Amino acid sequence: MNITGLSTGVAITTLAAALALANSAQANVTDSDILNDQQTTADVVSNGLGPRAQRFSPLNKVNADTVQDLRPVWGFSFGGEKQRGQESQPLVKDGVMYVTASYSRVFAIDIKTGEELWQYDARLPDNIMPCCDVINRGVALYDDLVIFGTLDAKLVALNKDTGKTVWKKTVADYKAGYSISAAPIVVKGKVITGVSGGEFGIVGKVEAYDAKTGELVWTRPTVEGHMGYLNGAENGITGGEAGKSWPGDLWKSGGAATWLGGTYDPDTDLLFFGTGNPAPWNSHLRPGDNLYSSSRLAIDPDTGKIVWHFQTTPHDGWDYDGVNELIAFDYEEGGKTVKAAATADRNGFFYVLNRTNGDFIRGFPFVDKISWAKGLDKNGRPIYVDENRPGNPTEAEDGKKGSTVVAAPSFLGGKNWMPMAFSQETGLFYVPSNEWEMDIWNEPTAYKKGAAYLGAGFTIKPINDAYIGVLRAIDPKTGEEVWRYENNAPLWGGVLATAGGLVFTGNPEGFLMAFDAKTGEMKYRFNTGSGIVGSPITWEQDGEQYISVVSGWGGAVPLWGGEVAKRVKHLNQGGTVWTFKLPAKDAVAAR
């Protein structure tokens, strides 16, 4: 699709000048700040509230007894006509919130008043090609910089006090279909980013840049056969050689986009990045496992070397991207601590892996209906239902359309991008998921730079009349669904768990909701006026606990949702940051 380009660089209010002076004595964000983000409650300096992205906060003043008194204290509008989907997670440091908005915009906001301090608008070209709305999922903070990716595949570093550009780097060619929508992460002074564009036959990659200078440190392609680089020198072919699991030259446009970004585990010193679907969707054109598509990769943050991989959907024929976040966590079993990592895949299975080596520990369905596989074998490889793979067009009478199958989940996944949370108190994962299926068929296709490269058609359908979205509490040790909340529209926003015994998330109907973490009882809801597809955060300032979430309906569902889109067509777009806290008397009483 073609999106109209936007004008313009940076707008700075007079408040920004005052902020620059006020912040001159304040500490910049360090590697230690990022590593300790989950424990330091006065700020949120990383996507996921810590490098492991557990999205758990030790704050407890807002709890099951006090949450009913939660009140909005300010709302900040992104303004103008640039609305669409708002999937950002805000960050907070030294009294300032940094949040992205649609069309590659960044805002700095005074968290006491909700007033704008500065705004940056990327100068986007007219012919950008994002597959799934003009969203952005957030910034990274490091030193005195605010760093984010743009829809024309650039990485931009801004001064945190003024919003002025410090450095800007082109990560990939947007004319070939590349873009960036995920929040980058910072590890050991390097800002690390993936790329979007799997529907255009791009080659996925993970890259590390010096956070202060923007100089490229290493690049690691995520399709077997492409050369990696470290400090400008060749650093080994991904997978060792070309085409081992790909036929012919298809590896040259193999997809495997790293479009959701990654997490980092300090215990093992490993980055965890997921990879998207192989290109094209028509799997009959590319026999084999098609590494490293639809996989989780463990990457050395110093060199870009792939240390281990786990492929959730080998020879993917349904667009079951493996990008969903891999979250490091520990649990006790047989008197020993297991260093694990968990992910809820688009294909409908929940996986628990040994994060030191990628070995499969266990896996189980987390959605009610899976039709493409019977289950997982002892190594976690899917046991396919062969008749539920879309048919080969060359076997059709007209040679143009293969046989149609009904596949569940739909290609939008049992869980899509929306991040789950892990509670260190309950030991449960809280998974935003959806119950839907699709009619899917294959068609002939050929690669052309910058053009859609699918070779498939589809229609998404709800499985149930009463609900599509399901928020689930899942025990990763047993596979038990402890509780669920069913929602009429699909769930598309992230989840936050707190030591206050609460789980926060939002829905397309516009409600910020809080649930009892143990029972699933809804304790609170507030109508924000537009659908929530962002991720909530919490922090503490001046002895009070704050909660913020971005509201603004959009994303992939209304664009790709088929029959599902009819269920949400009445929902209004928007673009507002909502911030809440308890009244002072309740905050005092909760201490």
Annotated catalytic residues are: 319
Q: If DSSP states are collapsed to H, E and C, what string results for 33-102?
A: HHHCCCCCCCCECCCCCCCCCCCEECCCCCCCCCHHHCEEEEEEECCCCCCCCCCCCCEEECCEEEEEEC
Q: How far is CA 284 from CA 250, 290, 395, 397, 458, in A?
A: 12, 12, 11, 16, 16
Question: For residue 115, what are the contacts with CB-CB under 8 A and spacing of at least 6?
Answer: 13, 15, 109
> CB within 8 A of 229, min separation 6: which ones?
216, 218, 219, 235, 304
CA distance 13 to 566: 41
Long-range contacts of 141-145 (CB under 8 A, 24+ apart): 141/29, 141/34, 141/45, 141/46, 141/91, 141/93, 141/98, 141/186, 142/28, 142/29, 142/34, 142/186, 142/189, 142/191, 142/211, 142/212, 143/28, 143/29, 143/30, 143/211, 143/212, 144/28, 145/211, 145/212
DSSP SS3 for 148: strand
DSSP calls for 209-226: EETTT--EEEEEESSTTP
CA dihedral of residues 540, 165, 576, 522 (deg, nearest 10) = -40
Instruction: Say whether 341 sits in a helix, a strand or coil.
Output: strand
| Per-position b or e across 369-393, b if 16+ CB within 10 A of its CB | ebbbbeebeeebbbeeeeebbbbeb
**Are the CB atoms for 347 and 320 separated by under 8 Å?**
yes
Q: How many Å is the maximal CA-CA distance in the chain?
A: 74
